[in-house]
A and B are shown apart, each in its own frame.
Chain A
């Protein structure tokens, strides 16, 4: 099991939620419980890889609606459906909407743990992507407006004299700004920085709207 993964359990049945949390804690898995989908959307923090275990039929927003909402963002966390009302139609539609597994209550412990492990493993890559992107975004946030302008021009592949001409600056000061940008963004070379940023922005483009969530 991934050391610091967090499992988010969304179920409006208190006994069931608490018992699942107890099982996870006994297996030394970090976990967090939410009594409703709305509460999960409010409180869930994604500073670790993890997965979501969600009940289908709940008061307020149901599990299916939650899965669809998460899927809208293109890069959703792995979700395991746990239900007492399992039908084939339910299973098919939730899996199509992005759930990675569909378990009937009461699910045997090993089946449950297996599904969670799979979910967490799946989330590691995603989490790395998100963390890298978040870091980049944080670093970009430390740039001054002038440095941000220089960075934008660097991304279009312009040389220092070209940037100086476009922005009306001395080529020398452009040089200074460029090295300060590289330093703040923590990259050794311009090529490396541009490659990372373009990759990240491609992902950002593929997954619009998730920008605020990961941290």
Chain B
């Protein structure tokens, strides 16, 4: 049997750590940072591709147009003038166009590559025709050669080549424009993501700060209330415990003094008895003054939402509940009327009883707390499946200095009962087959 009386004050002030909200913030921020990194990577890839390949492709496209012009011009000039210098120039540039086309085909992506392949094919046909024309010149048939290079067929091929190049350039333009637009979009999105990450973190951290400040305020209030009632209770109990023997001493010494009227008794003894009697009465007065001093002051009672007080108390004990692996289950019922009480004191009651229940339980035994309305009264029940209470102890469990807990002071439940009675309620305990059940009943609030 290990039950009764949670240690006052210190037992409650569990470390606040392991905050769920904070953990969410950290995880959220990490996710946002990952997003940012991914975005950066995309931008980088887009940039390098644009920088290295697309710039090269632009240059190659320029050359393709330029070299083609050179080839057309030199072949036609060679045919028209029969000057071999034009033919040599043609021979010099022809492989260069071919290699530029080959290089462009290598680096160009999808659609543009198809364009380039077609351009290359047309080019091959053109080159074959031009070579044939040059061959006809050498063979001394300049008229045939001229027909070949200035005819409609050659013009058709040229325009096919040019439209191929135009189409490729258009597609290239469109693609680069699109990729720039998407890069800009991603940059803007990245900015927003970063803004959200930072802003969200700040907001949540601020909320968290507020929350923990509120919580610590609550802790402080509870701890102060706990301390105050512990001191008061201690003094009241001390006064009560001392009062009985003091009253007995006063009576006994009074009796002894009566016998002193008899002459045969030693007068020194009588003076001693007289002194003892006076001191006992003096001690009695001190105790009485102490009792006056420790009388509970009036508390400001307000309407308090019981369910909310339960939720707050459970929240305060989250850490203790996790550490002992004793889950707290809140059972809510509709239509629980508010009671007239001091909120801190009500929480003190609930927290004390919950701490007791948790301490009496083994890991994975649930503690259940519920509030319900019973014939106008409001009842709070705290229920555990722990070590339980023997019937003989159940009668004494609310007495001050009665404890079955190792190192317990036996004040927790005494204080709890004082508070409950001070709030106009009653508290009772029910020993069950397994565990215990504490029931706190508050009378109906007259409106």
- Which residues of A are at the interface with B, using a C-beta cutoff of 8 A? 13, 15-16, 18-20, 22-23, 25-27, 84-85, 104-109, 112
Contacts and interface: CB of A to CB of B under 8 A. Distances in A.
A104 to B, nearest CB: 7
Given A26-B254, A26-B256, A15 B248 contact: yes
B255 A22 contact: yes
Nearest to A57: B240
Given A13-B244, A106-B243, 19 more contacts: A15-B248, A16-B247, A20-B251, A23-B254, A23-B255, A25-B255, A26-B259, A84-B244, A84-B247, A85-B240, A104-B288, A105-B284, A106-B246, A106-B247, A106-B249, A106-B280, A106-B281, A107-B250, A109-B250
Contact of B243 (A20, A22, A105): A105
A16 B248 contact: yes
B308 to A, nearest CB: 32
Given A84-B240, A84-B244, A108 B281 contact: yes
Contact of B252 (A23, A27, A85): A23
Contacts of A106: 243, 246-247, 249-251, 280-281, 284
B244 A109 contact: no
Contacts of A22: 251-252, 255
Contact of B249 (A19, A85, A107, A112): A19
A105 to B, nearest CB: 4
A57 to B, nearest CB: 9
B243 A84 contact: yes
Give the one of B252, B280, B281 with max A CB within 10 A.
Answer: B252
Contact of B258 (A26, A104, A105): A26
B414 to A, nearest CB: 14
Contact of A26 (B248, B255, B280): B255
B426 to A, nearest CB: 16
B255 A16 contact: no
Give the one of A13, A27, A84, A104 with max B CB within 10 A.
Answer: A84
A23 B250 CA distance: 9
A177 to B, nearest CB: 57
Nearest to A20: B251
A56 to B, nearest CB: 12
Interface of B: 240, 243-252, 254-259, 277, 280-281, 284, 288
8 contacts: A19-B251, A22-B252, A22-B255, A25-B255, A26-B258, A106-B243, A106-B246, A109-B251
Contacts of B240: 84-85
A22 B257 CA distance: 11
Contacts of A105: 243-244, 246-247, 284
Contacts of A18: 248
Contacts of B247: 16, 19, 84, 105-107
A12 to B, nearest CB: 10
Contacts of A107: 247, 250
A167 to B, nearest CB: 61
Contacts of A13: 244, 248
A25 B251 CA distance: 11
Nearest to A105: B247
Contacts of A19: 247-252, 255
A1 to B, nearest CB: 13
A16 B244 contact: yes
A22 B277 CA distance: 14
B286 to A, nearest CB: 11
Contacts of B254: 23, 26, 109
A16 B244 CA distance: 6
A112 B251 CA distance: 9
B296 to A, nearest CB: 11
Give the one of A15, A26, A106 with max B CB within 10 A.
Answer: A106
B259 to A, nearest CB: 6
A97 to B, nearest CB: 21
A15 B241 CA distance: 12
A91 to B, nearest CB: 14
B244 A23 contact: no
A109 B253 CA distance: 9
Contacts of B250: 19, 106-109
A18 B247 CA distance: 11
Contacts of B258: 23, 26-27
Nearest to A82: B247
A112 B284 CA distance: 15
Contacts of B280: 106
A104 B291 CA distance: 12
A69 to B, nearest CB: 23
A26 B256 CA distance: 7
A38 B255 CA distance: 28
Nearest to A14: B248
Nearest to A25: B255
B310 to A, nearest CB: 32
A23 B284 CA distance: 17
A28 to B, nearest CB: 8
Contacts of B281: 106, 108
A16 B288 contact: no
Contacts of A16: 244, 247-248, 251
Contacts of B248: 13, 15-16, 18-19
Contacts of B257: 26, 109
Contacts of A27: 255, 258
A20 B253 CA distance: 10
Contacts of A23: 251-252, 254-255, 258
Contacts of A108: 250, 281
A112 B259 CA distance: 18
Contacts of A109: 250-251, 254, 257, 277
Nearest to B243: A84
A105 B241 CA distance: 11
A108 B285 CA distance: 10
A106 B244 CA distance: 7
Nearest to A84: B243
